[in-house]
Each structure stands twice: as structure tokens, then as C-alpha cells.
Amino acid sequence: MKIQLSEHFTYKKLVKFTIPTIIMMIFTSIYGIVDGIFVSNCVGSKPFAALNLIYPAIMVLGTIGFMIGTGGSALVSKTMGEGDKKRANEYFSMLIYLLIIISIIFTVLGIVFIKPISKLLGADETMLTDCIVYGRTLMFFLLPFTLQNTFQSFLIVAEKPTFGLIVSIATGITNMILDCIFVYIFKMGLFGAAFATGISQVIGAVIPLIYFIRNNDNTLKLVKSKFDLKAIFQTCVNGSSEMLTNLSMSLVTILYNMQLMKYAGSDGVVAYGIIMYMSFIFIGTYLGYSIGTAPIISYHYGAGNTEELKCLLKKSLILIGITAIIMTGIAELSSKLLASIFVSYDLEVLNMTTTAIRLFSISFIIIGFNIFASSFFTALNNGLVSAIISFLRTLVFQVIAIVVLPLIWGLDGIWFAVVVAELFSLIVSIIFLICNRKKYKYA
């Protein structure tokens, strides 16, 4: 039986409703990792370093999809909770049309400026060509990439999280198969890896697009709409935290790479790339849960169900706490195994990466609470608080830690920076949750 946003959520219903989104985020992370595995083992460590160097720039342009998806889903869910389904569909449609226009503009800019961007990020002559090939190929697919990210959030609003999971699985399997064909069999190198990713993103965008275009009784569907500047502004404010998170992560990754080139050379960039791939799986669990619960929170906030908000917050914190303990233990115990998947052929890089994973993984005990806190305020349509948490967590605290800690602990300080940043962010998250408890009546 389909679970509706308006229902009372027990632990069982909460897990059942969010598990497809959690699996979707994990699966999306896994198929993204496949690119790295094939490139690292079939093309070489230098192209793998180039991939990790240019990818953050692509993510910077792709942040618009995360902003409209999270901010828009909060607005649309709240509007549905208020009982205005027609206006909710108009908001949804307007945001998708806006996203298409912006993505096309960003695609042109990205293709034109990919070479100077690569140089700015620190690509030397041995990496520049690889950065341009991989980056320019993915830029051609920026529109389906942003649509795919946006539709993941709106499929949950449409009460179709399982359908979103099916789409992600289809997308992931396509990417894995094409990676094998293009990179391993046909030896197409970085171009093959990027082309495989791009085609899979087209599938992830087109299938939901067809679903929302169909003329039926879906909770959400694409209709005629006019541009509403107030709704666009509210969406941008609501989604600013998620955009800032992804934007800051990309900028921080660039800073990490610069510091690692200074302290460990290209091997350090390789090790950090592996950490990022590994962390996507673990962090994906928290992201999936937060994305999955956000429309529920928004709906009940719009409907004025404060008792349900209390239950959702309490149960979410308990579930995240249990998950954090389990996942941190798994990451610590499997650090060498995770590193060997990518660099078993190089003992020195393997040992460096193993140590890095062990230090970095301590953050998994904390990070879930911060991700949920930011998402919680986005769902309450308080984009400002959500943005402050994300901005401090993903940019300010991390930049300070990345710059200062290596001066004290050298290379290990770089790996431990995220732990310190997340710890300070947790303090900020707790303060905001306490200060806003009376305003939203969730205490």
C-alpha cells in the first residue's frame, strides 16, 4: 500500500518511505564510483588524478539542480499541505522550465571556458588534455544531469520514491555497462568514461520527464505556468543551503587538491579522490534519508500538524544516531579493503589512502546530524538557517581546518580537517534546533 505524505509516520513507515531514496542515493554513489575504478585501473593514475581535479568544476555548475530540487520540493510540498494542488503543479512546472533555460546557458559557458578552468584548478601540462576531454564531454550532458538531480526530489513529493529508485538503478546499470564497454573493451579512456556517464544521465532525466508529462492523475505533473518571481525567490532561498553545500564541497575539494599537491603531489590527489568516492556511499545514506523525509516535514508544516513534526524530529535523530555508529564502524574496519579497490597496484598510495580513510571516517559519527539539521530547516521553508548551517559546515569551518591543521600535523591534518569542521558544525546545528523549537513547535 502506498504511503501518503499526510499519514502519521511510525518508525516502520518512516523507514519504509525513505529506504528507496536511501538506496537510490547509495546506488547513485556506487555507479559514480565505477568511473573512478575503471579509469584508475584501466587508464592510469594520472588520468584518474585529472578526473578528480576537474570534476568539482562540473559540480559547481550542476548545483542549480540541487537548489531547485530541494528548495522547490519544499515549496511544492508545503503548498500541497495547504490544499492547493493546482498551484503546486504550476510551481513545479515553472521550476522545471526555469532549470532547462539556466542549464543550457551553463552548458555553453562550461564548454567554452573548460581550458582556463582546468588551468585555474592547477592542472599541469601532463593533466591538462585529460581535464579538458573529461570536463568538456560531461558539460554536453549538463542539462540531463541537473534534471536528474531535480527529479529525484520531486518524485518523492509525488509519493513515488520507489519509482525514483527504479530510475536510479536503470541509470546506474547503464553507466556500469557502458563504462565496461567504452573504457575496458574499446579503450576509449577518459572520453569513454565521461560519455558513459552522460548517456546514463540522459536516461535518469528522460524517464521522469516522460512520467511528469503524461496526462494523468499523478500527484505532480507538468502543466502550463507563468514565471512567478516570488516563488522563484522562495525556492532559491529554500534551496540555497543545498546549493551552498554542493558548491562549497566543490570549492573545498579544489582547496584539498591544492593542499595535497603541496604536501603529497598527485598521489595525494588520487588518495583524496578515493576518499570522496568512498564517502559518497556513507554520506549518501544520510542524504537519502534527509531528502526522503523533507517532503513529509514540509507537508505537515504546511498543514499545521505540530505533533507530527515533534515525532518526525525525535524519530529521525534516533535513527540517524544508530546509523552513524554502524557506518563509522564499517568504514574503519574496511579502510584497507576500500583503498585496495582503486590502488592495489601501488603499495605506497595504498598505505597513504588507508590512513586517510581511517582519519576521515571519524566524521561519519557526526555528519548525519548536520546534514539532517540543514535539510530539516529547508523543509520548514527556513532557507536562511539551513544556508547558515551548510555554509559554516561545508565551507567556513573546512577551509579553516584545511589551512591550519596541516601546519600542525602535516598530511594527517588534511585528512582530519573534515572531522574538526563537522564537530563545530554540530554545535551550530544544536544551537539552531534549540533556538527555533518554540517558533515551529517541534520541541
- Residue 5 in any domain: the answer is no
pLDDT number for residue 425: 96
The pLDDT tens digits of the residues spanning 177-219 come to 999 999 999 999 999 999 999 999 999 999 999 999 986 667 7
- Residue 218 in any domain: the answer is yes
CA nearest to 411, candidates 195, 265, 236: 265
Residue type, 225: S
pLDDT number for residue 122: 75
Q: Print the domain residue range for 408.
A: 11-440
| pLDDT of 131 higher than 70 | yes
- Residue 45 in any domain: the answer is yes
pLDDT number for residue 357: 93
| pLDDT of 57 higher than 60 | yes
361 CB contacts (<8 Å, ≥6 apart)?
282, 328, 331, 332, 335
C-alpha cell at 89: 503543479
Query: Band of the pLDDT at 302, cuts 50, 70, 90?
Result: confident
Q: Which residue reads 574503519 in cell numbers?
A: 332
Q: Which residue reads 505537515 in cell numbers?
A: 300
Residues 422/366, Cβ–Cβ less than 8 Å: yes
**CA torsion, points 77, 83, 87, 89, in degrees to nearest 10?**
50
66/305: higher pLDDT: 305
- Residue 1 in any domain: the answer is no
| pLDDT of 29 higher than 80 | no
Query: Band of the pLDDT at 5, cuts 50, 70, 90?
Result: confident
Distance CA 189, CA 267 (A): 20
3-class DSSP state of 7: coil
Burial class (CB in 10 A: 0-12, 13-18, 19+), 218: middle
- Residue 89 in any domain: the answer is yes
| pLDDT of 139 higher than 70 | yes
Q: How many domains does the chain have?
A: 1
pLDDT number for residue 280: 80
Lowest mean pLDDT among 273-287, 351-365, 385-399: 273-287
103 CB contacts (<8 Å, ≥6 apart)?
64, 65, 142, 143, 146, 147
- Residue 57 in any domain: the answer is yes
Query: Band of the pLDDT at 32, cuts 50, 70, 90?
Result: low
| pLDDT of 318 higher than 90 | yes
pLDDT number for residue 46: 81
C-alpha cell at 6: 499526510
Question: Rounded to whole angstroms, what are the CA distances from 398 to 55, 126, 132, 378?
Answer: 19, 29, 28, 22
Counting residues of the chain whose pLDDT is more than 70, the rounded percentage is 98
Residues 82/299, Cβ–Cβ less than 8 Å: no
Q: Which residue reads 513515488 in cell numbers?
A: 160
| pLDDT of 257 higher than 60 | yes
- Residue 79 in any domain: the answer is yes
C-alpha cell at 205: 532525466
- Residue 294 in any domain: the answer is yes
Burial class (CB in 10 A: 0-12, 13-18, 19+), 65: buried
133/281: higher pLDDT: 133
Could you tell me the sign of the dihedral formed by the alpha carbons of 352, 354, 359, 361, in that order?
A: positive
Average pLDDT over the chain reads 88
396 CB contacts (<8 Å, ≥6 apart)?
none
206 CB contacts (<8 Å, ≥6 apart)?
144
pLDDT number for residue 1: 54
pLDDT number for residue 21: 84
216/48: higher pLDDT: 48
Residues 402/252, Cβ–Cβ less than 8 Å: yes
pLDDT number for residue 216: 67
